[in-house]
Structure 1
Amino acid sequence: MHSSAVFLIEFGAIILGLGLLGRFAGRFQFSPIPLYLLAGLAFGEGGLLPLGTSEEFVAIGAEIGVILLLLMLGLEYTASDLVTNLKTQYPAGLVDAALNALPGAAMALLLGWGPVAAVVLAGVTWISSSGVIAKVLGDLGRLGNRETPVILSILVLEDLSMAVYLPIITALLAGTGLAAGSVTLAVALGVAGLVLLLAVRYGRHISRFVSSDDPEKLLLVVLGLTLLVAGLAQQLQVSAAVGAFLVGIALSGEVAEGAHNLLAPLRDLFAAVFFVFFGLHTDPASIPPVLLPALVLAVVTAGTKIATGYWAARRAGISAKGRWRAGGTLVARGEFSIVIAGLAVTAGIEPSLGPLATAYVLILVILGPLTARWTEPVAMRLTGGGVRKTAQAAAPVPAGSRGSEPQDALDDRDALGRS
């Protein structure tokens, strides 16, 4: 009875604190994610007042938070959108891997950690945080922007790449033979391909099966199906996030719209818990010794991510403002980077790799929402875009001349989801 009361007090304090932090962030119009992370640092390992009783529940809630973030992102797009974007954006995925994995590998080799650690750190710096970015897109009202499908395509390519990368890195860390590693990789690729095939070919049937006029039944079926698919995917060495995203892709029409409205409050709750959980498992004392290399790596790879998004959006025909928004949004790293570093820490290949990865991710998970918000206005000001826009706005516009508006203005008007 006593432990139950302590749990309720701790978890209630966490939720209340998150609500107050979110209200504070909303008043100053910036994302609450950095505040959630700092709150986790304050009350986690080595913090001011470590939590104990509610930690296990928070861990489960954090995992559900990532799953719901990716499900909601998938609900924004149809299976045909996904296939089209993957076909057209795979070069961006290759550029993304080259620009962002190489700095991590180079840093590990410069620190003398060896080739296996280099492969691990390459993964840490390569993969953007789908969870953080999904939250940021929602917070900034950009889910309907023209550049958002480009961002989504890169995130999906990264997440699907994890189905190949994680089995490889697991085999390297364990010293597994080629045969065993090949079997693990084949299973992962087969499962990811099967789920994608079902989502693309049988999405309408899945939507019909899930559909219900009763909101309670719809909520239970969609949430249960998502958690089931995510769990099966993770059990078979495929990311739970990929499974949840593909469930969202498979649902369409009124079912997708209804599920989105019902699940939005749950997503916000558990997503906030995820970010707190990340901070709870970061010991502040482990950060200072590796802060300098982590900071250097963060600055370099923030620049390479911005370049990746800019190039991909330009290739898709997005205007300059959308290109900068795409680049700034991709900066955040998070859940996958921590998973990759955790595998290396468990294997014991390099004691400093874990703290370095934690410091690196913490820097970019705080910086990411800021770059998403400010990269475009800063870049446009520096490049003179803001001056040109002011001049164009001051000039008289003849009647019926909407077709002659600058592409940037049209691009903004097409951003249906922006507030």
Structure 2
Amino acid sequence: MHSAVFLIEFGAIILALGLLGRLAGRLRFSPIPLYLLAGLAFGEGGLLPLGASEEFVAIGAEIGVILLLLMLGLEYTASDLVSNLKTQYPAGLVDMTFNALPGAAAALLMGWGPVAAVVLAGVTWISSSGVIAKVLGDLGRLGNRETPVILSILVLEDLAMAVYLPIITALLAGVGWAAGGLTLAIALGAAGLVLFVAVRFGRHISRFVSSDDPEKLLLVVLGLTILVAGLAQQLQVSAAVGAFLVGIALSGEVAEGTHTLLSPLRDLFAAVFFVFFGLHTDPASIPPVLLPALLLAVVTACTKIFTGYWAARRAGVSVKGRWRAGGALVARGEFSIVIAGLAVTSGIEPRLGPLATAYVLILVIVGPLTARYTEPLAQRLFGRRQVPAGAVPAPRSASASSVEPVPVKSGESAAVDPVEPVDPAPVKSGESAPVDEQIG
């Protein structure tokens, strides 16, 4: 009887997630808010609390985090990561400063303590690469001049996670300075070693893992990833960091084949992860933190727009492209939930989980809207002020006039201005991969 109840409950969850994902696809926005709401409905205090299948959902959620980070690592090569670190680190520093500080300040103002401040700083800092990638593809902006700038910031945030996650893992575990420093040293050493090995011997590693049989390739990569993630967690390093490093070490055809094979599994278990996070959040606890979440969302949406504008300006992108870059970075999603989930599990602050849920729900819905309308709104408000007095527009060259504009779907004409066409910039292989459609 127990197994029958488990199958019924878990089957109902998967079916509900599939229907919610289909609904989100028709409405053309991220399914993450619907998955979170489903978790709230199935959790304690919800409409239909789960019983038998909750333990399995918890294991599936942990696998979902591992697969999210593995797939993210597969998107980048080690050489691309090193190149981004060298050229775009100022933009990464600006991004961290202006988007992490509001979260930390909010936690301290609410009296949650320094550990919760570090956690909430990460929640407000990291943008959702999955949501942003999907929005860029939907708006037809993959070839725009500002797109490499956006991707560079996302890559730097992903790299920062390899350092940040071990820090908060140590803080949440309550270890001392010596143990925490050792954990961070192990994480940095592992990350540096993997990058070195991936740059020097990446082809040999990929050749060893490679297989013409999809079944064998899937089993080897998935088994290796979970094994490394478990070893990393045993060493007090985040399992997600271990999975991310495995993804970086694989490249070429192996990475492409693994991405194709694991994408459905990632989508399934990542959806389970978002449901699991919602299961541990009491719906009645959200209304008291809704106002702080809304204020924090407004502040950090503005700071993300500033970050994208500054980074695109530094890269020599036109004014319109700067606004588009800023608007595209607003969405938060999977990483914010992963960070908040660690804090909820440790039980440091009961209100942090509901605040993070409300915050992500707001920005994952607002993010696609800011990506689409920030640039036309800015042009309407500041357009005349941004043209220097006496400036004469340069005549178009014959080659420029012959470039066909990127086709834009109905309702998205504001993405590209017909008077000032954006010359599509070549996107490197390591930078085009993150815009594959991902969960969230």
Global fold match (TM > 0.5): yes
Larger deviation: 110-119 or 73-82? 110-119
Corresponding residue for residue 256 of structure 1:
255
Corresponding residue for residue 268 of structure 1:
267
1:344 to 1:242, Cα distance in 2 relative to 1, 3 A? closer
For 1:409, which of 417, 422, 426 is the aligned residue? 422
User: Does the 8 Å contact 1:328/1:368 carry over to 2?
Assistant: yes
Residue type of the alignment partner of 1:205: H
Corresponding residue for residue 218 of structure 2:
219
CA distance in 1, matches of 2:257, 2:424: 28
Post-superposition offset of 1:3:
1.8
Residue type of the alignment partner of 1:11: F
Post-superposition offset of 1:264:
2.2
Secondary structure of 1:272's aligned partner: helix
Corresponding residue for residue 394 of structure 1:
none
Give runs of aligned pairs for residues 226-237 of structure 1, distance below 5 A: 226-237=225-236
Corresponding residue for residue 124 of structure 2:
125
Corresponding residue for residue 22 of structure 1:
21
Larger deviation: 277-286 or 358-367? 358-367
CA distance in 2, matches of 1:71, 1:349: 28
String of CA shifts for 1:388-419, please: whole Å, max 9, x gaps.
9xxxxxxxx99655477887532389797699
Corresponding residue for residue 208 of structure 1:
207
Percent sequence identity is 85
CA distance in 2, matches of 1:33, 1:350: 23
1:350 to 1:40, Cα distance in 2 relative to 1, 3 A? closer
Corresponding residue for residue 239 of structure 2:
240
Post-superposition offset of 1:117:
4.2
Corresponding residue for residue 43 of structure 2:
44
User: Does the 8 Å contact 1:191/1:236 carry over to 2?
Assistant: no
Corresponding residue for residue 198 of structure 1:
197
Larger deviation: 194-203 or 167-176? 167-176
Corresponding residue for residue 179 of structure 2:
180
Post-superposition offset of 1:164:
4.1
Figure out how many residues of one structure are paired with residues of the other and give that number: 409
Post-superposition offset of 1:209:
0.7
Give runs of aligned pairs for residues 9-408 of structure 1, distance below 5 A: 9-129=8-128, 147=146, 149-169=148-168, 176-319=175-318, 323-334=322-333, 336-338=335-337, 340-341=339-340, 350-372=349-371, 375=374, 379=378, 400-402=399-401, 408=421
User: Does the 8 Å contact 1:133/1:329 carry over to 2?
Assistant: yes
Post-superposition offset of 1:142:
7.0
User: Does the 8 Å contact 1:70/1:134 carry over to 2?
Assistant: no
1:245 to 1:361, Cα distance in 2 relative to 1, 3 A? same
Larger deviation: 401-410 or 124-133? 401-410
Post-superposition offset of 1:64:
2.4
Corresponding residue for residue 408 of structure 2:
none
Residue type of the alignment partner of 1:220: L
1:268 to 1:223, Cα distance in 2 relative to 1, 3 A? same
String of CA shifts for 1:299-325, please: whole Å, max 9, x gaps.
101221222233223333455565445
Residue type of the alignment partner of 1:71: L
Secondary structure of 1:410's aligned partner: coil
CA distance in 1, matches of 2:56, 2:107: 35
1:256 to 1:16, Cα distance in 2 relative to 1, 3 A? same
String of CA shifts for 1:16-36, please: whole Å, max 9, x gaps.
222222222222322222222
Q: Which runs of 5+ in 1 are unaligned?
A: 389-396
User: Does the 8 Å contact 2:107/2:120 carry over to 1?
Assistant: yes
String of CA shifts for 1:162-198, please: whole Å, max 9, x gaps.
4544555566667654333322322222222222222
Post-superposition offset of 1:115:
4.5
Secondary structure of 1:411's aligned partner: coil
User: Does the 8 Å contact 2:46/2:282 carry over to 1?
Assistant: yes
String of CA shifts for 1:201-252, please: whole Å, max 9, x gaps.
2211111011111121122222222222333333333343333333333322
CA distance in 1, matches of 2:307, 2:293: 20
1:172 to 1:324, Cα distance in 2 relative to 1, 3 A? same
What is the TM-score with the length of structure 1 in the denominator?
Answer: 0.81
User: Does the 8 Å contact 1:69/1:134 carry over to 2?
Assistant: no
CA distance in 1, matches of 2:160, 2:301: 20
Post-superposition offset of 1:50:
1.3
CA distance in 2, matches of 1:313, 1:301: 18
User: Does the 8 Å contact 1:344/1:350 carry over to 2?
Assistant: yes
Larger deviation: 401-410 or 7-16? 401-410
User: Does the 8 Å contact 2:29/2:365 carry over to 1?
Assistant: no
Secondary structure of 1:409's aligned partner: coil
Secondary structure of 1:202's aligned partner: helix
Post-superposition offset of 1:147:
4.9
Corresponding residue for residue 391 of structure 1:
none
String of CA shifts for 1:92-128, please: whole Å, max 9, x gaps.
2211111012212322333344545444433332233
1:216 to 1:307, Cα distance in 2 relative to 1, 3 A? same
Residue type of the alignment partner of 2:271: A
1:19 to 1:379, Cα distance in 2 relative to 1, 3 A? farther
User: Does the 8 Å contact 1:204/1:250 carry over to 2?
Assistant: no
User: Does the 8 Å contact 1:120/1:340 carry over to 2?
Assistant: yes
1:147 to 1:86, Cα distance in 2 relative to 1, 3 A? farther
CA distance in 2, matches of 1:198, 1:298: 40
Residue type of the alignment partner of 2:315: A
Q: Which runs of 5+ in 2 are unaligned?
A: 388-395, 405-418
Post-superposition offset of 1:138:
7.2
